[in-house]
């Protein structure tokens, strides 16, 4: 790991599961290689972040996180000193409270939990705008109703995958407390390793983990993508404490612009996305990354329309689901924590459109 990337917590796995995890999921290399398309930002004068330090917390690097890596490289090109903090056993909320990060690029459920607990946090963008999970099970299990009696690997009580699974089970008439064996394992990487080792019959994992499993001939099948099983939910979000955003409006504006720019570059250059991911995520393959890219395009993970990048309806649906499933103990309203001003202003500046505004002046914060 380089100095700008430190691990807050380490993935725990053992024996064959760890070996499988290494082969299928990989990790991060010593230093990111930057797509050639980012060279266009070397003369971009829209932002001057010289002397500005930003700590961004995210999950372990894999294909799903490439959009965040793109945005970070764009922020660096504007002069920011960006530290990528890898969070494996800490939530973004916990890392913010512990003053380990400034901005989280994490699952949107964290935002609901923080708001329900009285934290003043706001979403200003999304690195991934379509639900990024897949329900995977051993061969023979074709739908959710067939999970009766199954061992299901989950992150733990209150985890995003956990309440999503509980919702799907209840919808299919399966009692999550009595009809299945819930096994708290950890993050998607650990759950995937548990599936490989045959220690679980099913789990909800990241879509790129599923692609890697499928391509390696694992005795597992796809029950369905969460984006299709439970459509319209918010996925991942850039969020921070309101106090930080108010004190650093240019950072918030630059991140919103970088969000749109990263999505635009991803959508227009498949080869660059694949190569960048191969250079920065160990243990993956060109075929797997290309498959993930094509699926991401099919599911619409990287829009450039601000209304689709940060959709309040997606947060409202997610908040309702979390409340009805017991993941949060009181209802929350999306308008209280979804802040669209920065993305709207970024779009007005030309962010996310090819050759728009690259030499424009510095913006006024919203």
12 and 158 in a single domain? The answer is no
309 and 167 in a single domain? The answer is no
Confidence of residue 190 (pLDDT cuts 50, 70, 90): very high
What is the chain's Cα-based Rg? 20
**Amino acid 7: pLDDT:** 35
Least confident of 3-17, 188-202, 249-263: 3-17
pLDDT higher at 33 or 128:
128
In degrees, rounded to 5, the angle at the alpha carbon of residue 79 between the alpha carbons of residues 75 and 85 is 50
105 and 164 in a single domain? The answer is no
Bridge partners (DSSP) listed for residue 203: 136, 153
Domains held by the chain: number? 2
| Contact of 349 with 363, CB cutoff 8 Å | yes
- Domain end position, chosen among 229, 251, 286: 229
Least confident of 56-60, 244-248, 250-254, 310-314: 56-60
Establish if 273 belongs to a structural domain: yes
**pLDDT digit string (tens) for 275-294?**
999 988 877 889 999 999 99
**pLDDT digit string (tens) for 51-75?**
999 999 998 777 888 999 999 999 9
**Amino acid 61: pLDDT:** 75
**Amino acid 327: pLDDT:** 87
Establish if 174 belongs to a structural domain: yes
**Amino acid 291: pLDDT:** 93
283 and 144 in a single domain? The answer is no
For the entire predicted model, the pTM comes to 0.83
Domain that holds residue 216: 133-229
Confidence of residue 212 (pLDDT cuts 50, 70, 90): confident
**Amino acid 46: pLDDT:** 78
55 and 149 in a single domain? The answer is no
Q: State the CATH number of the domain containing residue 330.
A: 3.40.190.10
Confidence of residue 151 (pLDDT cuts 50, 70, 90): very high
Q: What is the mean pLDDT of residues 236-240?
A: 96
- Domain end position, chosen among 229, 253, 286: 229
pLDDT at 271 over 80: yes
Establish if 107 belongs to a structural domain: yes
Taking alpha carbons only, the member of 172, 133, 171 closest to residue 153 is 133
Q: What is the mean pLDDT of residues 249-262?
A: 97
Confidence of residue 356 (pLDDT cuts 50, 70, 90): low
Note every long-range contact of 26-30, with CB atoms under 8 Å and residues 24 or more positions apart, other chains counting: 26/62, 26/281, 26/282, 26/283, 26/284, 27/60, 27/61, 27/281, 27/282, 27/283, 28/1, 28/60, 28/61, 28/86, 28/280, 28/281, 28/282, 29/279, 29/280, 29/281, 29/282, 30/1, 30/2
Confidence of residue 301 (pLDDT cuts 50, 70, 90): very high
| Strand duo 151-154 + 236-241: pairing | unpaired
41 and 177 in a single domain? The answer is no
Least confident of 1-15, 36-50, 287-301: 1-15
Establish if 310 belongs to a structural domain: yes
Least confident of 48-57, 144-153, 228-237: 228-237
Least confident of 32-46, 163-177, 252-266: 32-46
**Amino acid 228: pLDDT:** 93
Confidence of residue 33 (pLDDT cuts 50, 70, 90): low
116 and 101 in a single domain? The answer is yes
- Domain end position, chosen among 197, 213, 229: 229
């Amino acid at each position: 790991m380089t100095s700008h990337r430190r691990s807050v917590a380490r993935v725990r796995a053992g024996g064959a599961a760890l070996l499988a995890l290494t082969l299928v999921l990989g990790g991060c290399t010593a230093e990111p290689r930057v797509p050639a398309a980012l060279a266009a930002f070397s003369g971009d004068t829209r932002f001057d972040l010289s002397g500005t330090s930003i700590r961004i917390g995210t999950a372990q690097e894999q294909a799903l996180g490439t959009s965040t890596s793109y945005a970070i490289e764009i922020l660096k090109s504007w002069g920011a000193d960006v530290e990528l903090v890898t969070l494996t056993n800490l939530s973004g909320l916990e890392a913010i409270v512990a003053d380990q990060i400034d901005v989280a690029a994490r699952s949107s459920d964290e935002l609901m939990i923080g708001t329900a607990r009285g934290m003043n946090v706001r979403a200003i963008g999304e690195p991934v705008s379509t639900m990024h999970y897949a329900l995977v099970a051993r061969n023979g299990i074709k739908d959710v109703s067939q999970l009766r009696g199954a061992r299901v690997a989950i992150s733990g009580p209150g985890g995003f995958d956990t309440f999503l699974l509980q919702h799907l089970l209840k919808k299919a008439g399966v009692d999550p407390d009595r009809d299945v064996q819930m096994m708290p394992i950890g993050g998607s990487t650990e759950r995937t390793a548990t599936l490989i080792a045959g220690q679980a019959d099913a789990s909800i994992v990241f879509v790129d983990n599923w692609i890697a499993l499928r391509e390696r001939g694992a005795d597992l099948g796809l029950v369905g993508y969460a984006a299709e099983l439970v459509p319209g939910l918010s996925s991942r979000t850039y969020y921070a404490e309101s106090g930080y955003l108010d004190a650093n409006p240019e950072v918030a504006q630059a991140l919103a612009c970088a969000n749109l720019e990263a999505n635009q570059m991803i959508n227009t250059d498949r080869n660059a996305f694949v190569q960048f991911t191969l250079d920065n995520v160990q243990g993956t393959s060109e075929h797997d990354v290309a498959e993930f890219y094509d699926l991401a395009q099919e599911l619409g993970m990287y829009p450039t329309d601000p209304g689709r990048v940060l959709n309040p309806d997606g947060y409202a649906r997610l908040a309702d689901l979390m409340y009805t499933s017991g993941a949060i103990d009181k209802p929350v309203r999306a308008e209280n924590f979804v802040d669209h001003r920065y993305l709207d202003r970024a779009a007005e500046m030309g962010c996310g459109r090819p050759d728009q505004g690259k030499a424009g002046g510095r913006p006024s914060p919203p």
